[in-house]
Structure 1
Amino acid sequence: MVHSTIKKCLVGAAVLATCAVLSTSAMAKDLRGWNIHVEDYPVSHGMEAFLAEVTEKTDGAIKGKVFHGGVLGSQPDAIEQVRLGAIDFGVFSLGPMGQVVPEANVVSLPFIFKSVPDMYRLMDGEAGAALSAGLEAKGIKALGYYDAGARSFYNSIKPINTPADVEGMKVRVMNNDLFVGMIESMGGNATPMAFAEVFQSLKTGVVDGAENNPPSYESTNHFEVAKYYSLSQHLIIPECLCMSKRTWDSLTPEQQAIVAEAGKNSTDLQRKLWQEREAASMKVVMDGGVQVNEIADKSAFQDAMKPVYDQFLNASPELADLVALFQAN
């Protein structure tokens, strides 16, 4: 009788142990992360650091892999997959994100940020929280806003210090009505074209100038054919370290706290790495004979954007309060 009782107890203990293992296994998460960039890139290093911290602090209960180079699909497809929970996290430019989350379009407005530090301050504060709420309503949890650089004007004619300096210039822009309107509001001739065509177009005079961040200006060798780089910083469009809301909601409160902290630490790291990358690119272009000029007071450029903002708000009046929040802080 005693032996029978002991045997039952041992069997019961084994069942409980098995259930505990199964329960732990069921709670373990193997995350899939989407990234458009190559592995050796500030964004990529930030994402890897994020996942490593989460894995370490959850004792391996949450682990996974970052898939670099867009191998899990295009950015629009990946955004949709994150909303559905098929991809757990990723880093997305807030430019294309505007197709799904209207609030994200606000940061594509020219000169909405006065500088990169201004972008950090706004995106880490009340304005960024309001934008994050718009993302969350569409099934996307923002964990941090990465630095994707500031786009500035470069051309083959002269430095740009005021909006009047753009008058008459043929400037290549991305194919977006906002950016076309930006150039036209300063009296320039906006020329949308594929990025791959810009170098030859600058070299042959099809366009006088273009605009981009320092690493892009340097790595494409555009600085060899457009020797004036004016730091207008007219477009500062952050990238979002995002998690699927479905994945986020499946985490325990303790795990959510770990993920949130890792997101902040990852953002701090990525911003530092991006600044280092920009500084290296600026050294290359300046050593290459480029004339670089700062624009300390951007108020004239901001004033010139009134028609662009009016057109934007006429089309999206529901975003007026969010635009005002960004401008007021």
Structure 2
Amino acid sequence: MKYFVGIDIGGTNVEIGLSDNTGKILGKKSMKTESKKGAEDTFNRIWKKTQELAKDLEIDISEIEAIGMGIPGPVVENSIVKIAANFSWGNDFNAKELMERVSGKLVKVENDVKVISLGEALFGAGRGYKNSITIPIGTGIAAGIIVDGKIVNGAGGIAGEFGHIVIEKDGYNCGCGLKGCLETYCSATGIVREGKRRLSEDKSGRLYECIAGDLEKLEAKQIFDLAKSGDKLCNEIVDFFAEKLAQGIGVLLNLLNPEVIILCGGVAKAGDIIVERVKKFLPKYALGLTLDNLVFSFGELEEEAGIKGAIALVIEK
């Protein structure tokens, strides 16, 4: 039996999963990233935790075939992280080389969003489709693009930075340095910003009562929940969000003509209300032919998306 390890490295935590050759997760462990201690320290602790997991599962380390890793930041050649976002490991950080030295195993590395998209394509909502786009919506928004069954990386690993399509010429400042990026409108942060803006103009209604007048307590979930119950203001905010998202997705449809759009992440848990509204606005921004037979779905892998996607990098299927 061959076994594979999937590692999802986040700014705060690392999730580690061990699977058999079907991709079934046999066990998981997590640990703190503590990136300030240095990459060598983090990677050594990851490998130690992996060995502990294998021991718990009564799997000999020699039976582990390969390790897949997902990490924030653009990645080239399944090895070099051009910009180690959220870490202090420097640019052009060779994560593959370091993990192979630490573990003695074959390692492949990829951007975390692309890893999630590959996981959904192989094990989740994208099964059966050759062309899919997975869009995680949380504190930010991005896109993992699969064309003819393969991840689209681009020349420098930047492909898929969907959140930085400029949709408003003189819009909000974005952390990337641009103005009016999609992410500043179509993320949990963007939805809350729009809610605060509207509540500052009209301090009344169910949403204002829900947060007891404290704008700092406002969350995206509250807006979606009240919209579902028929609240006028919250429905207007959701429409605002959905039209901006449709504008961005329209660009992807016209460029790539995918078979399926897969939504995941915290905001996507709002469910069908997002898809219904986006579909309403899409004809304004996408060619009609791109909408023929287009499927919208929600991610199926949930908290295992990162580790299953990392496993998908190295498993043979």
Name the structure where helix makes up a greater proportion of residues.
1
- Structure 2 length-normalised TM: 0.32
- Structure 1 length-normalised TM: 0.31
The structure with the larger Rg is 1
